[in-house]
Amino acid sequence: MDISRIFQTSSQPISSFFNEGVGYYIPRYQRDYSWEKENIEQLMYDICSGVFELQSNHEQIHFMGTLILVGEYDKEKNITPKDSKALPKNIDNVIDGQQRISTIALLACCLYKSIHRLRKKIVANREEYEDQLEQLQDAFDSHLDKLTKLFSFDLTRGIPKRKPIIIRQDKDRWTLDGNAKEHYTSEAHISLYLAEFIDAIQNEPVDFHDYPKPKKGSVVAEKIEIIDDYLETVKESHKNDANNYPSAWDILSKIAQSEFWNYDRPELTEIINGFKEVPSEELKEIQNCICSLVQVFAFSSYLLERCCFTVIRPTSQIRAFDMFQSLNATGTPLTAIETFKPLVVHVADVKSQEFRNSNFDKSLTKIEDLTRLQQNASAKNARTNDYLTLFSLTYEGKAVPKQFSIQRKWLIDKFQKSCSSIDGQDPSLEDQEKFMEQMGIVAEYYKKIIIPKNKTGNQSLPELNLISDSERKIAFFCLVYLNDANHKMAHTVLSRFYSLTVYHNGRDDEQQKKFAIACKVIAAFFTLWRSALPNTGLDATYRQLLYDKISWQKGDSQLSLDVLKNHCQEALAEKQIGTQVSWKQKAMSYLRYDNNIQKVCKFALMITAHNTIPDPDETGLMKIGRSESSPDYQDSERWKKDCKTIEHIAPQNPDLGSWDQDLYSNDGDYQKIGNLTLLPTNINSSASNKSWIEKWIYYSHLAETNLDELSKLKNIAQEKGVELNSETIKSLKEARYAHHIKPIVQVGQTGKWDKELVQKRTERICDILWKRMNQWLTE
């Protein structure tokens, strides 16, 4: 028997694999398309990091695994349902790989949309660079043509001539013409979306609105949203100095231009290099589009030419199933740390007495504890990726990509070559022990600070046992805020300050106090930045601090609060928000609910509720009071329970007859911080979208403890025809924290909640927020 003829194998880049004019057929026994969010994100991340790595490693590729395909040789019998006139010449049954083929098809559609839209914008605004941009038409055509082949094949007949690249047995059928919804009916809607997309591009769409919209809530809609979010990051990379995707000028200077537009274009390269010197906020639309185009072309080319499969073609489906079972029953894949461990054990056994109970063993135990309780390989891999990203940033100010092979190589290189305390020499045993100790400290920080979700202020940070309860409590409040805001970069700096408490074995109150203060400094810096500006450039600020001064490689000599505070203040000044006047000018318009900074809004409301009182001279506003003039709002328990959700005072979906219509003009002032307050979840759901009098009655219950006044409120509700929910009233009475709502209640039942008051309250909140955050940054 000639085994080589039973399993035919080949390795192909994506562009070659999808260029064969084959239709892919999913047998009925295969599960529906269901790639998890984590799988999509990992693919997008791998391509982004691949483009980044390509700058220094021109041999970089991304292996996307093995596909098992079996040719279909009896189409009339086995393809059901079918339109015989619309069957492709060649059909492959997909035994293993439908999730990847389907995802690549969706990704190709999203890339097609992005490139086509950029082309339209560039053509409409190209006067300034017309000669140079005219040369790009062949590059546009090339990319769009190659991407089209990833989601469709050319039948050469029918309307349209191109058909979806992949369909499911019993649910979909390739059709010569007709309504796509009648022929592509599988639950996941993959083939239907591809068919509608093909129809759309035949008509030369003008904008995103001309492309099909997947059914809301469908699997396709969810996956496309994830892909589009990543592609938006790719298009914006020239603005944010991110280290996981290069800018247009870096791509042009470090990656061969033949990779993404066939040949060098020196005139256009010179123009784009000039954009590097222009602040991102001052770039014209055409300049942004040109940069985005280079960045998307690089992404598209990497997908097409450097992502690859190994394709196995067994001679029969029986052989295919045997191989499928074998490939999928070989056990849980190992993480980079698990494959790195044997090297550490070997070094300990050879250079030290033995690994067991050694310092290496103790450090590795801390690291392994992070993933010990993860219930599946995906969760274990995600935790490992997050941890290694954090550690690599703290170690050298650069994030290691989330690819297994690169992570493993990075760990081995640092451990065997780069962790030496003496330049030019191989690391000693002590150097390697120290490297592992540093990994262990970051793992301990991750386990104690990042993972816990349900601890309250009284249970928090037991390691800080030499500082006051109030200092520990506010530090934990800041950590809860930063975690909820998903501000992962904060932990790079904070874990370095945390290490000082570990090195002193928890017996140095000054080091503990430094960590507690560092939590406040980072919270203040993040709040001032994000309340006035988008996230662009924020992560780079942390990386620069680590790389230049406080990474593990740089040591502890500059790991001080003064260095941290100065760096934060300089970063704010560089962004022109370093003074109250300049910051307030931007925050007044930017600090709003719909800017995707809800956690920042919540923090601002809690900070400005703490030790403030109703202003007797300005109805509806608060002013700073004396110490202990309010309950403690700088408390993690308040964050998680009593002030859990944000409430729009003038609602998002109002009866406009009940509210000032100026709040709902083009500026959308109802989204500003001055129109927001905090309520427990169950009260928020009852009080939302009501008229002012109804809201005022509900809020008055929250703020009122006098039984006579509560009786009066009940009578007012009856007079006004307001039907009060008894469960809501019960919750209002039980609410412990109502101090922050008192200024709002004082507007009164006949008062007016209008644009002018919202503007004044926005300004007052900004004034108090700046005063307190600046104090944290400078005290």
Q: For residue 590, is pLDDT > 70?
A: yes
| Residue 272 covered by a domain | yes
Which of 266, 291, 325 marks a domain boundary?
Answer: 325
Please state the domain count of the chain: 2
| Residue 258 covered by a domain | yes
Alpha carbon dihedral 376, 377, 382, 386, in 10-degree steps, equals: 100
Query: Can you give the pTM of this predicted structure?
Result: 0.78
Confidence of residue 689 (pLDDT cuts 50, 70, 90): low
Of 52-56, 410-414, 506-510, where does mean pLDDT reach its minimum?
A: 506-510
Which of 305, 325, 345 marks a domain boundary?
Answer: 325
Structure tokens belonging to residue 651: 């609602």
- Residues 700-729, mean pLDDT to the nearest whole number: 80
pLDDT given for residue 457 in this prediction: 47
- Residues 166-180, mean pLDDT to the nearest whole number: 91
pLDDT given for residue 243 in this prediction: 62
| Residue 754 covered by a domain | yes
> What residues contact 128, with CB distance under 8 A and at least 6 apart?
284, 286
Q: For residue 314, is pLDDT > 90?
A: no
pLDDT given for residue 332 in this prediction: 61
More confident call, 4 vs 480:
480
| Residue 710 covered by a domain | yes
Beta strands in 112-249 (DSSP E): 152-154, 162-164, 166-168
Which of 325, 360, 395 marks a domain boundary?
Answer: 325
Task: Quickly list DSSP for 575-622.
Answer: TT-SSHHHHHHHHHHH-BGGGS-HHHHHHHHHHHHTTEEE-TTSTT-E
Provide the percentage of residues in the chain whose pLDDT is more than 90.
55
| Residue 399 covered by a domain | no
- Residues 689-709, mean pLDDT to the nearest whole number: 80
pLDDT given for residue 277 in this prediction: 86
Whether residue 81 is preceded by a cis peptide bond, meaning omega within 30 degrees of 0, is: yes
pLDDT in tens, 222-252: 999 999 999 999 999 998 765 679 999 999 9
Domain that holds residue 689: 592-778
CA angle centred on 499, ends 380 and 523, rounded to 5°: 85
- Residues 492-511, mean pLDDT to the nearest whole number: 85
| Residue 704 covered by a domain | yes
Confidence of residue 518 (pLDDT cuts 50, 70, 90): very high
Confidence of residue 354 (pLDDT cuts 50, 70, 90): confident
Which residues are paired to 93 by β-bridges?
25, 70
Of 44-48, 160-164, 241-245, 775-779, where does mean pLDDT reach its minimum?
A: 241-245
pLDDT given for residue 134 in this prediction: 81
Q: For residue 454, is pLDDT > 90?
A: no
pLDDT given for residue 147 in this prediction: 96
Q: Is 156 left (phi over 0), alpha (psi -120 to 50) or beta?
A: left
Segment of 28-32, 194-198, 372-376 carrying the highest mean pLDDT: 194-198
pLDDT in tens, 657-670: 789 999 998 889 99
Calpha distance 648→682 (Å, rounded): 14
Please answer whether residues 628 and 611 qualify as being in contact, where contact means their C-beta atoms are separated by less than 8 angstroms.
yes
Amino acid at 560: S
Beta strands in 444-570 (DSSP E): none
pLDDT given for residue 458 in this prediction: 47
Alpha carbon dihedral 448, 450, 454, 460, in 10-degree steps, equals: 50
